[in-house]
Structure 1
Amino acid sequence: MIRVLSLLAGLTLLIVVIVWQGPREILALTLQVGWGIVPVAFVYGAYQAVRAAALRRCFPPARTLGYWRTFAIRLTGEAVQFLTATGPLLGEPTKAWMLTRSGLTAAEGLAATITEYLVNLLLGALLLAGASAYLLQSVALGPALATTARVLVGVSVAFVLVAAVAIGRRIYLIGAVLRGFGALPVVGTRLRLEHGAVRRFEDHLLAVLRDAPGRLVSIIGLEALAHALLVVELAWILTLSGLSFSLERALVIEGAAKFTSLAFFFIPAQVGAAEGVLAAVAQTVGLAGSVGVAAALVRRIRSLVVSAIGLAVLSRLK
């Protein structure tokens, strides 16, 4: 019920944003992309391919799951995530489940999936902090926006520092949080945990994040490349919309828009939230808000294209 209400709230927000920013202009900008959606989808496919390589680096060394099957599993998980509008809440467990069907243990599959997702999220937080700091220094923000930007810098940096300390000191943070939830009066009666399984999962996670620095560096490099591809994609979308755009400007917008996945994780597929945030960021850097909304809608179309490919792959997986 909560997910349904969140989705309805997101759809309402989407309608409000489109009406507020001008539906005709948004439609014109979106249609102007035309067949340019093909290279946009290709760049997004490359983004998924790079993240599949990062995911494969998160497997235990003894596991020899091939790259193409890993890529297929990632595409399938993304298709489930997009088409069910559940975001990572269903998409990531789907990938973990498919990895277990491909030879990994449950703890290994879940740890690999979460490790890859966490590294990507941490780099996204750094991008958000950098973009927010840049806007504070380079753009005349109003009091409300300036306060928001400072909060985003602080929260993003704190998130990265907490994760770094937990990894560096080998703190079993996830298990501690789950035990805390288990001690709550209402939640505890519903939360059924096998603490040995949780510890094995965290051991596999820390084996990559702490005990294998060479592998971690390669994963960080791949995730950084994945984020860079999203910047290229955004710059290309805006160029197709008739704007003269630099990668540096696209980097600021993409970095600031990372706020969406962190703040609106509870809205399925960030419907409405992604459009609203990109509209606000676009206006902050001197563009029309409709440009941001159109870019978000084009990204939904390319996700639909890639999800269709993911479903085709799923039908062929044994």
Structure 2
Amino acid sequence: MSALNFLISKTIMHVPGPVVSIFAKSYIAGQELSDAVRVTRDFNKQGIMTTIDLLGEFIKTKDQAKYFKERCIEILDTINKEKLDSNLSIKPTQMGLSLDEDFALENIREIVAHAASINNFVRVDMEDTPNTDKTLKLHAELKKEFGKSVGTVLQSYLRRTPSDIDNLDPKDLNIRLCKGIYNEPRELAYKDPYIVNQNFIHCLDKLFAKGAYVGIATHDEKLIFESLRLIEKYNLKREDYEFQMLLGVDEQLRKIIVDGGHRLRVYVPFGKDWLPYSKRRLKENPKIATHALRQMFGIHGHN
């Protein structure tokens, strides 16, 4: 990591919002659903799928949760009406998981039931470790009822993830596997990037062996290389997995994956609560900010 990238990664959480917004534009579709629709339509024309996410998490009241639930149903209806190749990602804490588990389950159940009725899919995202068990529990409940219409996320930086895979019901299993981005204590999460990567491949191997459909969520080409080896090992067909990438990250690699004949889905977030998401992404990938700075000041060169 360059000195500038290191500085950005260490200070970004304290940078004022207006400054972050300069660097965040490539990560966010915009503030309105119409922005996510526009971006999705452009991707679909390139043969790329999306998952749409309304930003906002760790809400404080049940009324806020109800608002987000209604907006998520609106997103699903819009995907259906506009005939987009897209699905929906939701945050459990956005649905009230931190307030009342049963309340959150009912909110998410209503969303997933609606998705199932129009032949779509809901990804229940994984957040920080206080919510890991709760999220896996509600996912297990929903999967019993809705099967292939719902899936969740596992994170390779968590020490517990291989055993979580062992405990998953293999029927209709659809998992997004990512590294993880929340700041967790060392006793719960690996801190060494090499180990996080090794655990990613270990977990992907276990998921494929279990017969899971996996959204391989990474822009790390080392992991994509290892993933392709596992796809070959298990003799998987194109429709048995997909790669997933964030909006605004490594467009060249995105094209390489698609040109290689693989399915690819791009995560398309939108909404007014863009600041916490953007800070986490810039902390994870400070090259975006470095690139923006170079463009602003006319500096040329390579990262």
Query: Whose strand proportion is higher, 1 or 2?
Result: 2
TM-score normalised by the chain length of structure 1 = 0.31
TM-score normalised by the chain length of structure 2 = 0.32
Query: Whose helix proportion is higher, 1 or 2?
Result: 1
